[in-house]
């Protein structure tokens, strides 16, 4: 089984970006943990990040036929991007949406996700450990 982890804008700044909100774990820390959890579960995990909406769409489209599931933290694009939502719908790959913070307890513009309706699950508010929880949950769901 292959899982793709996609991260959107500004997540490359984790560890230094507003640590009171997002914690001190870097994106590299999170990716290392996910690869380790993947090994424990017997699945291959690959990770990509982009600050550009179109590149995230390209990553999703390229995943068709290549991965079994996606863990997606589209960052701010979660709240605005019809293009990413449409790409996820077009490829028909099950995905879990992840956010480090509880988006429903944040500013009003962050309380709606364009991606949530198509997601297998939405996990938010657990910080960096939320990625591993999402990976474990998605793999369990895919294995049925």
Residues with catalytic annotation?
22, 99
Helical spans, DSSP H, in the chain = 19-22, 27-41, 53-63, 82-91, 129-143
How many CB atoms are closer than 10 A to CB 141? 13
Question: Strand order of the sheet with strand 69-73?
Answer: 44-49, 2-7, 69-73, 95-99, 121-124
Report the relative pairing of strands 95-99 and 121-124 from DSSP bridges: parallel
Three-state secondary-structure class, residue 3: strand
CA distance 93 to 67: 8
């Amino acid at each position: 089984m292959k899982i793709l982890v996609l991260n959107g804008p500004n997540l490359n700044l984790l560890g230094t970006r507003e640590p009171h909100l997002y914690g001190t774990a870097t994106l590299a820390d999170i990716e290392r943990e996910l690869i380790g959890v993947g090994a424990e579960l017997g699945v291959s995990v690959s990770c990509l990040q982009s600050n550009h909406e179109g590149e995230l769409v390209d990553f999703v489209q390229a995943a068709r036929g290549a991965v079994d599931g996606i863990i997606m933290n589209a960052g701010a694009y979660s709240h605005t991007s019809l293009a990413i939502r449409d790409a996820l719908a077009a490829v028909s790959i099950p995905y879990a949406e992840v956010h480090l913070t509880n988006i429903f307890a944040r500013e009003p513009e962050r309380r709606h996700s364009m991606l949530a309706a198509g997601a297998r699950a939405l996990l938010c508010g657990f910080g960096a450990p939320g990625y591993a929880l999402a990976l474990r949950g998605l793999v369990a769901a895919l294995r049925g």
